[in-house]
Each structure stands twice: as C-alpha cells, then as structure tokens.
Chain A
Amino acid sequence: MHRLSALATLVLLIALFSFGNPAFLSVNNGLTILLQTSVIGLLAIGMTLVIITGGIDLSVGSVLALAGVVAGLAIKAGAPVPLGMALGVAAGAACGAVNGFVITKMRITPFVATLGMMMVARGLALQLTGAAPISRLGNTFGTLGNGSLFRIVEEGANGFPRVVFPGIPYPVILLAVLALGGAYLLNRRSIGRHIYAVGSNEEAARLSGVRVDATKIWAYTASGALAGVAGMVLMSRLVTVQPNEGVMYELDAIAASVIGGASLMGGVGSISGSMIGAFIIGVLRNGLNMAGTSAFIQQIVIGVVVIAAVFIDQMRNRQ
C-alpha cells in the first residue's frame, strides 16, 4: 500500500521533470540516474534490514570509505583487483559484525554503537591514508564503476565510433542482483522472518526460540558488507580511493528506507520500497540539477519529502 503510493510519487516526479526538460527522459539520463542511485541503493538495502530489526546504522558512510581504503592499500601492496575488492567488502562486513556485537553483547543502543563506529571507521580511513587519496590503482580498478554490459558501438559512416546503446552500467546490475537477493532473504528465508519478528516484538521473538542476538548481528554484518560493496562501486567510479568520501550517505540511505515505508520503530519495511525511495531521491537530485536548482535547495526539497512521506503514511494508518 505504501509502496504503491511511493511508486506513484516516483512516476509523478519523472513525468514532471520530463515535462520541464525533454532531455530528462533520454536513455542516457536514465542510465545516469541509475548509476547515481546505485551507491545509495546498495546502502539502503542493508539499512532496511537493520531498520526492520528496530535498529539504525549510522556508520555506513564511514565504513564505505574505510572499505575503499582497505581495498586501495591491498591493491597498492600488490593484490590483484578482485582480491583487493573482496578484502574491502570483508572489512565492511567486519565493521558491521563489530556493530552487531557491541549492540547485542555490550547492550549499547544501535544509535550510539553505530555513531561510535561512524567516527572510528572514518578516523581509521583518514589515519591509514594520511587523509590523502590513493590513486594510480590501474584501469582494472575502474571497471566495476565505469564498465557496462551490452554496450553497442558501431562504426559511423565517417569512420568514428558511434555509441548506439551505452550499455547497462555494472553498478546498476550489481544493485539489481543484491536488491533481489536481499528481498529473497527477507521474504522467503527464515532469517528474514526472524528479522521482522525481532523488530516487531523482541521479547516475543526470544520466547519463540528466535536467536535474537544472532539475527541482529546478521543484519548489521550484512549492512556493513553492503557498505563495503558500495565503497567499491564509488571508489572504482572515481578510479581513486578517497578516504573522505561518503560523508552523510547514511542519512540518504535512512531517508530512502523511510520514504519506502520502513518504520524506525521496527517490524516494517521492504527492499522494494527502499529501492523506490532511493530512486525518488536520485530522480529529485538529477531533475533539480537539470533544472539548474542549487545543491542547497535540493537538500531542502529532499528533507521536506522525507517528512511528508512519513506524515502521509501516518495519516493513512490512523484512518
């Protein structure tokens, strides 16, 4: 129900922006939006899992940067790109596991635990690099972020190559695969059922034999790993590791989940909703950009949309 109205909002936005500027609806711009949204989308998958358990993960933006730094350093030290990236994702997962451990075993609230991790991971990323970017990582490092599938280039009459179809960017494919995987786990596997149960009524879940701590640690680890994946995509797109990337990305991810119907009280949310939420934010940014709106105005608009989405949802639930 919420997802339908979010989807309607998305369609409405697209119609509105295309009306204002026909270039908005081009294949190229569509792919640009997909590409721009993929990082927030990846973060939003993990954020949704965590929010459904009744928690929050403020650390994803910093973990993204730390994962990038780990990958960059590994590649600089001679590791092949795929291995370096795997290490980056593993570093993200490890940060998430620490979050889960601190929350369940040390009984620190998710807000505080992940706020701490946000600072620790950012500090580590800056310390390890001396706050300087890591560049010259080789062309392969840029493939994940800049390559695409089904790219069609034909030789024009004048001998110059002409791009018929720019191809589906790898980050978009990655986002689609991981979103589908996340939705599958959430809806079809018992871990997903337990995530909802823990967020809905933690005590009931415990009394029903759900391993509450393990379920939460699982969710935070997944969120950390996805932040790692997002870090790989972002750094690869820049072909440089930037230790100060990803600041405030956690807020976009939370906004995407909330616009998509997730409740910070726990027990409610869906991956599909969060993806729609991520695209609403992406389309707004892109459309407002094309309309020449300043980044400051964009912030204001997105902020209003977040509050409006939750307000409308509450109004409907009260009826």
Chain B
Amino acid sequence: MSPPLVAMHGIEKHFGGVEAVRDVSVALNPGEVVGVLGHNGAGKSCLMRILSGAMAASGGHIEVDGKPVRIDSPQDARAHGIETIYQTLALANHLDAPANLFLGRELKTRWGNLDDRRMLSEARKALHRLNPNFKNLGDPVARLSGGQRQVIAIARAIYFDVKILIMDEPTAALGPSETAMVADLIKTLKAEGIGIFLVSHDMHDVFDLCDRVMVMNKGANVGDHDIRDVTKDDVLSLIVKGTLPEGWAPRRAVA
C-alpha cells in the first residue's frame, strides 16, 4: 500500500499552560475525506493551522508522501500542495476578489507587472464555478457578503495545484445552494484523488461527505473511525464525553 498523502505524528501545541493539541496523530490518503470534529475549543483549528504552516507546533512531526517534511511557513505548506480555507477566511478587506485570490502568487506580465486583466478573468471563472451569480469582482471584499467572502477563500484554495485541502468550517456562512455547491465540489476533488480534512460541526454534512471521522476532545484525538463503523450518536458521545458509548463495537461488524 502506498504511503498516506500526509501523516501527522504526535503533534503537540501549548500556549503557556493551555494544551490546545495533545499528542495527536492522524493520516490522510489520496481521495479520502476525513472529518475533524470536536467541541468548540477542542483544538481542531490549531491542528489544521499547524499543518498549513500558519502555526508552529510545540512537538511532533509531519510526513508528506511518506517523507518527513518541515512546514515552517504557509509557503512551505503550499510547496507541498497543501491549501487551506481558514476559519477566519484570511482575506485582505481593502483588496478586491481577484487580488485576494492571487495574493502572494500574483499573475504577472512578461515585464513583471501585475497582470490584473488576466487575474480578473481567471478569478471570474474560478468564482463562477462556485457561485454563478458572483458579481462586483472589483469591489473591496469588505463590501461583500459573508457568503461571497467564503466563496473567495474556497476558490483561492482550489485554484492552485492542490493535493491536500484543509477546510476549516467552509460552509459556516453559506446559504443552502452554496453549501450544496461545496458538497459537490468536495466530491469532485475527492474523485480527482485530492485528500481533504473537513472541519465541521454539521453532522449531516460529515456523514454525507466523509470517509472517516477523527474526533478531538480537549486537545486529544479520542477516536478515529471509518464512517461506516459509527453512528451519529457514537460521534456525539465522542465529542461530548470523549468516549464511545458503553458496549460499542464497530457497527459494520455487528451488521
């Protein structure tokens, strides 16, 4: 069997006395969608930010394609094909959608000037794939709706060569049709062999889209299960109590 796309081993993160992430190991295979669940403050975003180079881990190591790598900056992560949709979206409010989409990776003309025309047309294509009604591409994103902003953050993550996609609550601000669009997008990306970490509080989405769930409780990984082995109640128990219900056995074995 080929090595996983990415494997995190024994990841730790402390903030002074606060242990945000405690000895968490998790792996992601090509074409696999892994749901990352947990109560508020469980450490999901911290774990994801460590993988995307936004936050330095206090301990542990990361392998990409079976090879140990150092991810010290967002640039490092991108170089390994890791793209992230941050829970905070990470958009520059005064810039317009194309400028945000290409921020840090601007398209340039032969002379090294910004190629705003090409960035606009590329951005329009990328955004319309997610929301055909996306207009006002020239407005500063501060003036756009929460959903439109989220669409820009998603488009930015998938526009470039992505192998591993981290989605930290990507549909939190989206309406039902955009949420459905994102669900379709996840299925398409999955079919292309892209691995996805999906952080979500929406049990329905998780069971609809994920192959596996990993539950965090107070910073620790308290369960990593094939989605077919657990029910919503099992996952809820992991989230709330940190343990599976008494007498639990893999549901597939029982059935």
Query: A-side interface residues toward B, CB under 8 Å?
Result: 187-190, 192-194, 196-197, 199-201, 203-210, 267-268
Contact of B94 among A192, A196, A207 (CB under 8 A): A196
A206 and B74 contacting across the interface, CB-CB below 8 Å: yes
User: In this complex, what residue of A is CB-closest to B113?
Assistant: A188
> Given the complex, which residues of B lie within 8 Å of A187, measured CB to CB?
114
B88 neighbours in A (Cβ, 8 Å): 203
CB closest chain-B residue, reference A184: B113
> Can you list 6 contacts pairing A with B, beta carbon distance less than 8 Å?
A190-B108, A196-B92, A200-B94, A201-B93, A208-B103, A267-B94
Contact flag A209-B90 (CB < 8 Å), given A188-B114, A200-B95: no
Across-interface contacts of B78 in A (CB, < 8 A): 209
Chain A proximity mask over B72-100: 1 for CB below 8 Å, otherwise 0? 01110010000010101111111100011
- Measured CB to CB, the nearest residue on chain A to B142 is A200
B211 within 8 A of A: no
B105 at the interface (CB under 8 A from A): yes
- Evaluate contact between B92 and A204: CB separation under 8 angstroms: yes
The 7 closest A-B pairs by CB, nearest first: A209-B104, A267-B94, A200-B92, A208-B103, A208-B104, A200-B94, A204-B90
Does B74 lie within 8 Å of A197, measured CB to CB? no
Chain B 154-199 residues near chain A, CB threshold 8 A: 156
Q: Write the nearest CB–CB distance from A93 to chain B, whole angstroms.
A: 22
A142 to B218 alpha-carbon distance, docked (Å): 71
B residues less than 8 Å from A189 (CB atoms): 112-114
A267 x B92 contact (CB < 8 A): yes
Tell me whether B92 and A205 are in contact (CB under 8 A). Answer: yes
How many interface residues does chain B have, given as a range?
20 to 34
Determine whether B54 belongs to the interface, using a CB cutoff of 8 Å to chain A. Answer: yes
A193 touches B106 (CB 8 A): yes
Secondary structure at the A interface, as helix, strand, loop or mixed, is helix
Contact A201 B104 (CB under 8 A): no
Complex Cα distance, B73 from A208, in Å, reads 10
Residue of B nearest to A263 (CB): B94
| Chain B residues within 8 Å of A208, by CB | 74, 90, 92, 100, 103-105, 156
* Extra 18 A-B pairs, beta carbons < 8 Å, given A193-B114, A201-B91, A267-B93: A187-B114, A188-B114, A192-B114, A197-B103, A200-B92, A203-B90, A204-B91, A205-B103, A205-B104, A207-B54, A207-B84, A208-B92, A208-B100, A208-B104, A209-B74, A209-B103, A210-B103, A210-B104
Given contacts A204-B90, A207-B84, whether A190 and B95 have CB atoms under 8 Å apart is no
Q: Measured between alpha carbons, how far is A192 from B114 in the docked complex, in Å?
A: 10
Min CB distance, A55 to chain B, in Å? 15
Q: How many Å from the CB of A99 to the closest CB on chain B?
A: 23
Min CB distance B108 to A, Å, is 7
Write the nearest CB–CB distance from A245 to chain B, whole angstroms: 36
Give the docked Cα–Cα distance between A206 and B90 (Å).
9
Which residues on B sit within 8 Å (CB–CB) of A268? 94
Q: Residue on B with the closest CB to A201?
A: B92
Contacts of A188 in B (CB 8 A): 113-114
How close is B148's CB to chain A, nearest CB, in angstroms?
16
Complex interface: chain A residues within 8 A of B105 (CB): 208-209
B74: min CB distance to chain A, Å: 5
Q: Are A197 and B95 in contact (CB under 8 A)?
A: yes
Q: Which residue of chain B is the closest to A202 with respect to CB atoms? A: B92
Given contacts A196-B92, A201-B92, contact A207 B74 (CB under 8 A): yes
The CA of A306 and the CA of B112, in the complex, are separated in Å by 37
Interface centre among A190, A203, A207 (most CB of B within 10 A): A207
Given contact pairs A197-B103, A206-B74, A208-B103, A190 touches B114 in the complex (Cβ within 8 A): yes
B156's closest neighbor in chain A, by CB?
A: A208
Chain B residues whose C-beta falls within 8 Å of the C-beta of A203 in the assembled complex: 88, 90
Complex CA distance for A117 and B108, rounded to whole angstroms: 37
Chain A's closest residue to B79 (CB) is A209
Q: Assuming A201-B93, A205-B92, A208-B90, is B103 touching A193 (CB within 8 A)?
A: yes
A202 to chain B, nearest CB (A): 9
- Chain B residues, Cβ within 8 Å of A194: 103-104
CB distance from B51 to the nearest CB of A (A): 13
Q: Report the bound CA distance from A204 to B140 in whole Å.
A: 15
In the complex, A92 Cα to B183 Cα: how many Å? 55
Report whether B90 and A207 are in contact in the complex, using a CB–CB cutoff of 8 Å: yes
From the candidates A196, A206, A207, name the one contacting B95 in the complex (CB within 8 A).
A196
Q: How far is the CB of A2 from chain B (nearest CB, A)?
A: 13
A96 to chain B, nearest CB (A): 23
A interface footprint on B47-73 (CB within 8 Å = 1, 0 otherwise): 000001010000000000000000001
Q: With the chains together, A189 CA to B108 CA distance in Å?
A: 9
Within 8 Å CB of A200, what residues of B? 92-95
Give A306 Cβ to nearest chain B Cβ, in Å.
22
When the two chains form the complex, which single residue of B84, B89, B90, B106 contacts A190, counting CB atoms closer than 8 Å? B106
B114 touches A209 (CB 8 A): no
A residues near B108, Cβ cutoff 8 Å: 190
A83 CA / B221 CA spacing, docked (Å)? 65
CB distance from B110 to the nearest CB of A (A): 13
| Min CB–CB distance B154 → chain A (angstroms) | 14
State the CA gap A194–B54 with chains docked (Å).
Answer: 18
